[in-house]
């Protein structure tokens, strides 16, 4: 019974591919179509032992791809510690980032492992789902491969089941569009082009997975990599101008987060309103934020000065005069730049201090600063200031309060 079932499935797949070839082949290529027909009949005549991969070997382009790439793929799997060929594959693509990933595994319950990331060489439209024919949009959502086309206008191609159940509800009811493929070449009006070299590899991987019984190879298409700040910021910018993008993208992100955590796929369904709903989705756990250690107060120089002169006959003088003091502040401002908090490159600060009767600058206070940590460090540095010439009143040295502003940059 199992042998009959396998043979029947192979016959149906072969017949579907033949119908597609006949319907999409021009008169110029009619000879190629009849050659494929003859080869297929020959393959069928071999009986139920003929596999899906064997059938692909009977088709010119697929056969060439296998001849060129199969051994290379096997070696790439070996170098990454993966078992060749993969029985299960999972494909996910990121529109804004221009990438397509292929994940593989050989047991249903084991987590997927990343095999390779391919560059998507062109993109049509913008971020957001496809909603009608002719909008040049690459779809976004959860799909599967429903067609192997070895005679594509773009070398080889893998068809996606767009419109899916969600698209049928949310897209234009009369003209939702269709014919969405992962294909070769480097042109697109809504598909995912990988170049001929790359589609050879992805096509072979998909063929082997189908050969092993994975009839519904999942393909998830996301607007962005949600964990890449530049990409996420761009999506956020678009959501401000098109509020409908946000709830749709948030649902996609739930599956993205689940896979990032588990490397397994949840069960994905569609409700009557066309919204994706999920079973067994793991929620992203917010990062554990370590409590900030309690700040230890810094002991600064503090003198008990009972009398500070308001009016003096001679102001305190920094060694070398006022010009030297400004140069000192400028050098200190440049040196303290690395101590500024992240994101701050410049700060205007104002400090007060007292030049005591012995010329020692003391009792520093930050009137305008940045934060407690930076202000503490600023005072610590200022306390290394050299001794001044004290202020004079009635030919006697007196304590005098000073106030100074300068720039940290």
Question: Which two structure tokens, joined as six digits, stand for 343?
Answer: 């994101």
- What is the CATH number assigned to the segment(s) 322-408? 3.30.1150
- 3.40.640.10, 2.40.440.10, 3.60.15.10, 2.40.40.20: which CATH number matches 76-279? 2.40.440.10
Distance between CA atoms of 256 and 259, rounded to whole angstroms?
5
Distance between CA atoms of 134 and 171, rounded to whole angstroms?
12
Mean pLDDT of 21-36: 48
pLDDT beyond 50 at 379: yes
Lowest-confidence region among 8-22, 221-235, 279-293: 8-22
pLDDT beyond 80 at 47: no
Q: What local confidence, expressed as pLDDT, does residue 263 receive?
A: 93
pLDDT beyond 80 at 245: yes
Averaged pLDDT score across all residues of the chain:
85
Query: Which among 144-158, 176-190, 294-308 has the top mean pLDDT?
Result: 144-158
Distance between CA atoms of 49 and 44, rounded to whole angstroms?
9
Give the model's confidence band at 293: pLDDT under 50 very low, under 70 low, under 90 confident, else very high. low
Q: What local confidence, expressed as pLDDT, does residue 296 receive?
A: 67
Question: Which two structure tokens, joined as six digits, stand for 376?
Answer: 């503490």
User: Could you tell me if 87 and 109 are in contact, meaning their C-beta atoms sit under 8 angstroms apart?
Assistant: no
pTM value? 0.61
User: Could you tell me if 115 and 133 are in contact, meaning their C-beta atoms sit under 8 angstroms apart?
Assistant: no
Distance between CA atoms of 256 and 19, rounded to whole angstroms?
36
User: Could you tell me if 69 and 57 are in contact, meaning their C-beta atoms sit under 8 angstroms apart?
Assistant: no
Region(s) of the chain under CATH 2.40.440.10:
76-279
Give the model's confidence band at 2: pLDDT under 50 very low, under 70 low, under 90 confident, else very high. very low
Query: Which among 86-95, 284-293, 382-391 has the top mean pLDDT?
Result: 86-95
Region(s) of the chain under CATH 3.30.1150:
322-408
Question: What's the number of CA atoms in the CB half-sphere (13 Å) around residue 77?
Answer: 19
């Amino acid at each position: 019974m199992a042998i009959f079932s396998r043979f029947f499935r192979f016959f149906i797949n072969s017949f579907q591919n033949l119908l597609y070839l006949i319907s999409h082949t021009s008169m110029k290529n009619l000879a190629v179509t009849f050659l494929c027909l003859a080869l297929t009949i020959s393959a069928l005549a071999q009986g139920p032992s003929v596999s899906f991969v064997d059938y692909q070997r009977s088709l010119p382009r697929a056969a060439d791809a296998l001849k060129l790439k199969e051994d290379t793929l096997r070696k790439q799997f070996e170098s990454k510690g993966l078992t060749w060929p993969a029985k299960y594959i999972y494909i996910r693509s990121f529109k804004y980032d221009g990438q397509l990933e292929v994940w593989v595994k050989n047991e249903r319950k084991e987590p997927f492992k990343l095999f390779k990331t391919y560059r998507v060489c062109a993109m049509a439209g913008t971020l957001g789902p496809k909603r009608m024919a002719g909008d040049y949009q690459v779809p976004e959502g959860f799909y599967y491969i429903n067609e192997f086309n070895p005679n594509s206008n773009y070398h080889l191609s893998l068809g996606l089941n767009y419109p899916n159940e969600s698209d049928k509800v949310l897209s234009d009811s009369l003209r939702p569009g269709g014919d969405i493929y992962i294909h070769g070449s480097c042109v697109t009006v809504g598909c995912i082009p990988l170049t001929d070299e790359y589609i050879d590899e992805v096509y072979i991987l998909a063929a082997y997975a189908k050969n092993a019984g994975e009839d519904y190879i999942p393909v998830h298409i996301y607007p962005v990599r949600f964990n890449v700040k530049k990409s996420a910021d761009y999506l956020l910018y678009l959501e401000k101008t098109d509020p409908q993008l946000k709830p749709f993208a948030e649902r996609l992100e739930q599956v993205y987060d689940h896979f990032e955590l588990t490397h397994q796929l949840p069960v994905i369904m569609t409700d009557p309103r066309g919204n994706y709903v999920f079973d067994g989705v793991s929620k992203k756990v917010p990062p554990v934020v370590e409590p900030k250690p309690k700040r230890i107060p810094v002991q600064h120089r503090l003198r008990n000065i009972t009398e500070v002169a308001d009016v003096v006959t001679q102001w305190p003088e920094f060694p070398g005069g006022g010009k030297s003091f400004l140069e000192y502040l400028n050098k200190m401002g440049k040196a303290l730049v690395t101590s500024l908090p992240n994101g701050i490159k410049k700060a205007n600060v104002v400090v007060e201090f007292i030049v005591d009767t012995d010329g020692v600058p003391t009792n520093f206070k930050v009137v305008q600063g940045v934060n407690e940590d930076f202000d503490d460090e600023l005072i610590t540095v200022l306390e290394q200031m050299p001794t001044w010439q004290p202020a004079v009143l009635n030919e006697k040295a007196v304590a005098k309060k000073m106030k100074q502003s300068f720039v940290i940059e």
